[in-house]
Amino acid sequence: MKIVIIGTGNTATILGRKLKAAGHHIIQVYGRNEKTANDLASELNAVAINQLASLNLGAEIYLLAVSDSAIAEIVKQLGLLHEGIIVHTAGSVSKNVLSSSTHYGVFYPLQSLRRESADLPDMPIMIDASDEKTLEVLDNLARTISGNVVKADDEQRMKLHLAAVFVNNFVNHLYAMAQQYCDKEKIDFKLLLPIIKETAMRIETINPSKAQTGPAFRHDAATIQKHEELLKDYYSLKKFYTLFTESIWNQKREL
């Protein structure tokens, strides 16, 4: 398919690479920053533009991969698109923000994306559309880059986005806090990498609540007390430790 990518960030870059690898023709890349637009366009064998007035109107898909807060303004600048399908890639924005165009939808990759990554990660694609014909086109497109394509309306995507914040952003924040603790205590954070990987792999086959271990789950008061003593000079960590300890124990009692 002929695709125009609007945006040059992480999502635009990774989706652009995946679509190119799947044999699609990226005809243009739009970015406000001329250098980043040129860099991505060069990688994708596309033409770079930094004015929406220069948009090629012969594309089949217009992939709007910009920040959530920028979507409405870009749509306003684009005006009505009679031909082609315009989609955004956001989990927490309604598809109806694009309703000024004839055919529109959502093409949301449920994955944490970084353009610096050397690999193209697996990702479920959540799709929605203004009509069944458009949905079919987006489904076919998504299946060229993902083996897991799901129709999800605005409410379902928002709930998935919220769940993703817990398992990705919040968990990564805990990693960052643990690394800061290790650095201050002069211990090697990398020694924790095997247990991090094991925990992630384990929940592919076991319900997370069934995979729970640790002193809070065992209600090991002596160990918990020792941990809290070690954290007496780490206010934020101790706060998290107490909160999670109570939550894990309460969840166990509810099972």
Structural domains present in the chain: 2-151 (3.40.50.720), 158-254 (1.10.1040.20)
Asked whether the predicted pLDDT for residue 48 surpasses 90, the reply is yes
Can you give the pTM of this predicted structure? 0.91
Q: What is the pLDDT of residue 117?
A: 83
Q: What's the mean pLDDT when you consider all of the chain?
A: 95
Q: What is the pLDDT of residue 118?
A: 78
Across 40-69, average pLDDT = 95
Which structure tokens are listed for 93? 């924005």
What percentage of the chain exceeds 90 in pLDDT? 90
Q: What is the pLDDT of residue 241?
A: 97
Q: Which residues pair with 64 in a beta bridge?
A: 6, 88
Cβ pair 208, 255 in contact under 8 A: no
Q: How far apart are alpha carbons 245 and 239 in whole angstroms?
A: 10
Q: How far apart are alpha carbons 63 and 95 in whole angstroms?
A: 13
Q: How far apart are alpha carbons 104 and 54 in whole angstroms?
A: 20
Cβ pair 9, 112 in contact under 8 A: no
Q: What is the pLDDT of residue 254?
A: 80
Asked whether the predicted pLDDT for residue 155 surpasses 80, the reply is yes
Which structure tokens are listed for 9? 């960030």
| Tens-place pLDDT, residues 187-223 | 999 999 999 999 999 999 999 999 999 999 999 999 9
Query: Which segment, 53-57, 67-71, 140-144, is predicted with the most confidence on average?
Result: 140-144
| Tens-place pLDDT, residues 77-104 | 888 777 899 999 999 999 999 999 999 9
Q: How far apart are alpha carbons 116 and 119 in whole angstroms?
A: 9
Phi, psi of 31 (to 5 degrees): -155, 145
Q: How far apart are alpha carbons 15 and 120 in whole angstroms?
A: 9
